[in-house]
Structure 1
Amino acid sequence: MKYHQIDRNLFIKNRKKFTAAMKPKSVAVFNSNDIYPVSADSTLPFAQHRDIFYLTGADQEESILLLCPDAPYEHLREILFLRETNEHIAVWEGEKLTKERATDVSGIKNIVWLKDFEKVLFEVMTYCDTMYINTNEHYRSAVETQTREDRFVKWWKEKYPAHQVAKSNPILQHIRSVKEQEEIDLIQQACNITEKGFRRILGFTKPGVWEYEIEAELIHEFIRNRSKGFAYGPIIASGNNANVLHYVENNQECKAGDLILFDVAAEYANYSSDLSRTIPVSGRFSQRQKDVYNAVLNVKNEATKLLTPGTLWKEYHVEVGRIMTSELLGLGLLDKADVQNEDPAWPAYKKYFMHGTSHHMGLDTHDYGLLYQPMEPNMVFTVEPGIYIPAEGFGIRLEDNVVVQPSGEPFNLMGNIPIEANEIEELMNA
């Protein structure tokens, strides 16, 4: 892995939080992701399932975690199963986790080769009444591919039909949404790498540059700073491309007078950052562009102040909608009649700002978090308002990542990344 080793105490704490929420006499199992085929002997790069990584730090395929806190023998209470490695595998595929190295990474003492999994599981199941299955219940999930976890759950239910079934996801949705300080530090590192990339392209961008050339500059800067690369598919949208919310073609020339909307960020150690900025191709905003830009920035700043303990996600978005409505009235994009006659299910501001303002972030860019539960300290959110005006040929989105504090305004993990229009102009013309 490119990243520095994470302190195993993080994973020890995470497992303790999970097992404390388990029912008596129960077992939970977590599987790594598959390596997905492309064609012939080609595969996609391996990406570890975030749940097993969160609980172990094991960033390797064909890994299984078993947790059984009430097992009568200590060595059965937490077990990490790994594919057995040898010199031949090391020559062809590179270094894999040894038992000693796996303990060092995860803090788990009992490391067992994968070939013995079914035998060990059988013994553990004789001590348990309930089995926790790890289903994907994220509110944005739309998975059509059967995963390694899916196949395991199917096999497990057929093998042990007399056991009760519980779900791991509700536990994970809560404990993963409230970050430990070590996690915040990792997200901060991802944000710092993102800052390096953004500052790099401020000096690179000019009329005639192509969107994919900017993408290349960013990935270069990210990887040279120990990131695997982009935390999600990069959006580098010049001109009217910015009005396509998930524009990922990145294949157009950046023209004088246009704006470029960036929604692009680095990962670090599997933790995401999530940045949006909008810059002028020619290094200067027009007055109209700057007016809209400052309106979006004002919404972002005011919305950030609302992310405090006890806030409900749904009510927060209603209030942000009021702030955005006021800005759109000031810009002349809406008038009072638009607001008075609006459909409450789709307020007038949605014509120019049609997506949400904030989402949880962490190991996943759209991270775990139960939206009906009040916000808590150490939750990490994006703040990303935008105004999109196809008729004027540009769209603007600004986004930072913030940590909810016990009191006062959230801490901005991207506070060092340029965002004021005047600062961006100065840096682009330095």
Structure 2
Amino acid sequence: MKPNSIAVFNSNDIYPISADSTMPFEQHRDIFYLSGVDQEESILLLFPDAPKEKYREVLFLKETNEHIAIWEGEKLTKERALEVSGIKTVYWLEDLEKIFFEIMTQCETVYVNTNEHYRSNVETETREDRFTKWWKAKYPAHTVAKSNPILQRLRSVKDPIEIDLIQNACNITEKGFRRLLSFVKPDVWEYNIEAELLHEFINNRSKGFAYTPIIASGNNANVLHYIENNQPCKAGDLILMDVAAEYANYSSDLSRTIPVSGRYTKRQRDVYDAVLRVKNEATKLLVPGAIWADYHVEVGKLMTSELLGLGLLDKADIQNEDPEWPAYKKYFMHGTSHHIGLDTHDYGILTEPILANMVFTVEPGIYIPDEGFGIRLEDDVVVQEKGEPFNLMGNIPIEAEEIEDLMNKG
């Protein structure tokens, strides 16, 4: 942060559905990351150069009382907020304007927390947006800076505690996946599989899925974001599952593709093994200093070689390809890796070199609508100072033989 500046972070709103219904509360990941506070109507203010030491870190919280405790459950008291966050100065929100005025007379720059993630597409006005409009109107002479690049760099490199939490999410995901291997049979429905996973996740202290689950049998696998999960799984088909648990607000992200009947056909197996080879080789490329865009070019070369071997591309396709949309993109049209952490598509500035302790997915796929199936395989890995990344999902079955053995056990 610049000298004599403050940064402000707001919690998310509780979003209405209609009547008196609301969406389940999900905390804004930035205020959670910085303070551990996981409730609505909370504000964190940071002022490193504050003349009064007590204003260097300040939390503003919704005042709790017995009525709220009875109807909504316990909210943070000032004492509990200190235990959770380590922040000694805690006020109720009703004191915000008075204290904010004092602080604004002492600072010159205000860091605004805008959403600059490369996938963001937000139409809803957030609590953060409303707060920014309010203070800009009231204090127009202050300089504005943006906190997002700082948060992107901080959050993209994981603390050991964070890696442990992601590992825990991966371990819960493993339990769910292993449960499925003995459950899946011809004529189960995609939603039956979703229900089995949710049962296992919640039974292991997860709040549930880290993102909307994709359980795509047969040709549904060729719709990249298929989330209906309402079709029967037919004998001979494959099921592409992109499903994973959260734990303590941290995400895991898994993809596996399994045979409904417990055995891959020869063609399915050939494609499966090709995807697995690309995943294994791509993982080795995630090393400190690598650039995300260059990495994807290299993965494209790996995939092109495999598609030639499968007869899906020929040399003429490669010679005549559009450099902006290489030939392999016909069968593998999405990216291979993204950051993962508090968000499933987590923070990370993609134009800057990869660093140790960043956590990435690795998720190549081959999608063949003409043959009625698609295959994607995905693990979550931690970049190491030296050597290959550490696979947080290394215990989750992925080799075709192991999946077949487990599906046909007993």
Shared fold (TM-score, shorter chain, > 0.5): yes
Matched to 2:223, the amino acid is V
Shift of 1:330: 0.4
Cα offset for 1:257?
Answer: 0.2
- TM-score of the superposed pair, with normalisation by structure 2: 0.99
| Aligned pairs for 1:275-424 within 5 A | 275-424=254-403
Q: Which residue among 95, 100, 106 is the counterpart of 1:116? A: 95
Aligned to 1:264: 243
1:150 match: secondary structure: helix
Q: Does 2:213 match 1:213?
A: no
Report what 1:195 is aligned to: 174
Alignment-derived partner of residue 34 in structure 1? 13
Structure 2 residue aligned with 1:46: 25
CA distance in 2, matches of 1:234, 1:138: 22
Deviation at 1:126, TM superposition (A): 1.1
Distance 2:34 2:98 in 1: 23
Distance 1:339 1:249 in 2: 35
Deviations 1:167-221 (A, max 9, x none): 0001011111001111111111110111111011111100010000100010111
Query: 4+ residue stretches of structure 1 with deviation over 2 A?
Result: none
Deviation at residue 118 of structure 1 after TM alignment: 1.1
Letter in structure 2 aligned against 1:271: Y
Instruction: Give the counterpart letter for 1:116 in structure 2.
Output: D
Offset from partner CA, 1:318-347 (integer Å, 9 cap, x none): 000000000000000001111111110000
Separation (CA, whole Å) in 1 of partners of 2:373 and 2:90: 55
SS at match of 2:40: coil
- Pick one of 88, 113, 119 that aligns with 1:134: 113
Residue of structure 2 equivalent to 1:65 = 44
Quote how far apart the aligned CAs of 1:73 are.
Answer: 1.1
Shift of 1:90: 0.4
Taking the aligned partners of 2:366 and 2:20, their CA distance within structure 1 comes to 45
Cα displacement string for residues 302-329 of structure 1 (whole angstroms, at most 9, x for unaligned residues) = 0000000000000000000000000000
Amino acid at match of 2:9: F
What amino acid is the match of 1:162?
Answer: A
Q: 2:50, 2:103 → 1: CA distance?
A: 7
Shift of 1:110: 1.0
The answer to whether structure 1 residue 223 and structure 2 residue 205 are counterparts is no
- 1:255, distance to aligned residue in structure 2 (A): 0.4
Q: How much does 1:98 deviate?
A: 1.0
Name the SS for the 1:354 alignment partner: coil
Q: Which string of whole-angstrom CA distances, capped at 9 and with x for unpartnered residues, describes residues 84-103 of structure 1?
A: 11111100001111111111
Letter of the 1:339 partner, please give it.
I
Matched, 1:157 2:164: no
Percent sequence identity is 81
**What is the alpha-carbon root mean square deviation over aligned residues?**
0.5
How much has 1:74 moved relative to structure 2? 1.1
CA distance in 1: counterparts of 2:196 and 2:59, whole angstroms: 39
Q: 1:91 aligns with which of 67, 70, 74?
A: 70
What is the CA–CA distance in structure 2 between the aligned matches of 1:175 and 1:215, rounded to whole Å?
34
How many residues end up aligned between the 2 structures? 409
Residue 104 (structure 2) aligns with: 125
Corresponding letter in the other structure for 1:185: D
Pair 1:178 & 2:161 matched? no
Q: Using the alignment, how far apart are the partners of 1:89 and 1:418 within structure 2? A: 46
Q: Distance in 1 between matches of 2:408 and 2:99?
A: 65
Superposed CA offset, 1:93-129 (max 9, x none)? 0111111111111111111111111111111111100
